[in-house]
Homo-oligomer: A and B are copies of this chain.
Amino acid sequence: MTNIKKVSELAGVSTATVSRTLKSPDQVSEATREKVLEAVKAAGYRPNWLASSVKSGRSNTIVVLVPNLVNPFFMRIIGGIEQAAQEKGFSVLLGDTQGSPEREHEYASMVLTNRADGLIQLDHSFPFSAADADLAGDLPMVSVCERIHSEKKYPVIELDNYAASRALAHHLLGYGHKHFAAIVGQVSSQIYRERLAGIRSVLQEEQIPFEQSQITGGAYTIEAGIAGIAHLLSLPQRPTAIFCFNDDIAIGAVHAIKKAGLRVPEDISVVGFDNIKVSAFIDPPLTTVDQPAYDMGRRAVDVLVSQIRGEPLARSKEVLPFQLIERESSGPAPV
């Protein structure tokens, strides 16, 4: 272990001077600076990050809690987080929770133990358990996509889900659809409520019924899309247009519809949310709502870091713009 002391001896100066040479070179004379830098090089010295962090009390690290690593939508968010974090001198600790409260708790505790300075929550079950009530006290935390259930207000970066689902509904209405259905993701969530409310508001304006039996699903997975179609095709009134609450669900739905011998969009139109990469390349390409995932990640870091620095935050809710991407999985209602 080559430490600062060894370098100081090598350069014939004090350890303080070595430290200064590296942290604030302008406080050191040209001559000694050169001497020190040479010694640093000769010794192959790198300052021990752990030691500096103990002093400052800050780890310049943030934890990202994500329910599922394989969802490309989350990963695009994390890409934005990573980029922004690096620009600000922060590292990213990955917290794959798999939806487990114990794991969430464990990762959240890292902030309490100075292992990290703050938390970005891509899941939405915080505060996880009763055991975390204390812990939730004063954590620097930002939520992406989903508001956090807690007395304390945490900032949130989200999409205008209400408006986005209204846009999708109008898009499908424009094609003359009258029989709708939805395959949703996690039910106990803000997203679920807002998107459903958006759809309902439009259909009510048009006096089109939308019953509970037309809503199915429960997970953001391809399998949920397949199972959802199985259910919906068994209904007495088969829907001609289906809202899928993310693109994975939509991919499963398209797959199942085609497997059942029906066509997309001639028999059934399918629309999704997220605009993941592959959505443009399946058959048919998916009509979906583009979410600026990368930017959401970047903004989350901005907000979190100012929280960590104790700066007052301008607004606690940030709504990013969406974009309706019309592709070929939606079309005129069958006659």
Most B CB within 10 A of own CB, among A70, A109, A113, A258:
A70
- Docked CA distance A108–B49 (Å): 13
- Find the B residue at minimum CB distance from A51: B54
Find the B residue at minimum CB distance from A103: B86
Contacts of A48 in B (CB 8 A): 54, 113-114
Known interface pairs A96-B83, A222-B277, A281-B255. Does A112 touch B69 (Cβ–Cβ under 8 Å)? no
Closest B-chain residue to A115, C-beta based? B49
Question: Known contacts A222-B277, A278-B222, A282-B282; is A115 also within 8 Å of B93 by CB?
Answer: no
Q: Hey, which chain B residues are within 8 Å of A82, CB to CB?
A: 69, 94, 96
Nearest chain B CB to A7 CB, angstrom units = 14
Are B91 and A110 neighbours in the complex by a CB distance under 8 Å?
yes
CB–CB B92/A94 < 8 A? yes
Separation in Å of the A123 CB from the closest CB of chain B?
A: 15
Interface string of A89-110 (1 = CB under 8 A from B): 0011110100000010010011
Give complex CA distance A258, B34 in Å: 65
Q: Give the residue of B79, B114, B277 whose beta carbon is less than 8 angstroms from that of A96.
A: B79
Closest-by-CB residue of B relative to A75 is B69
Shortest CB-to-CB span from A286 to chain B, Å, is 12
Partner of A258 from B54, B69, B92, B283 at Cβ < 8 Å? B283
Interface residue A169 (Cβ < 8 Å from any Cβ of B):
no
CA distance A79 to B95 in the complex (A): 10
| Contact partners of A49 in chain B: CB under 8 A | 110, 113-115
The reply on A238 being an interface residue by CB < 8 A is no
How distant is the Cα of A258 from the Cα of B328 in the complex, in angstroms? 14
A76 within 8 A of B: yes
Further pairs besides A93-B93, A222-B277, A222-B278: 20, Cβ < 8 Å: A1-B57, A48-B54, A48-B113, A49-B110, A49-B115, A50-B53, A50-B115, A51-B54, A51-B114, A69-B75, A69-B76, A70-B75, A70-B79, A70-B277, A72-B72, A83-B96, A91-B94, A251-B281, A251-B282, A255-B282
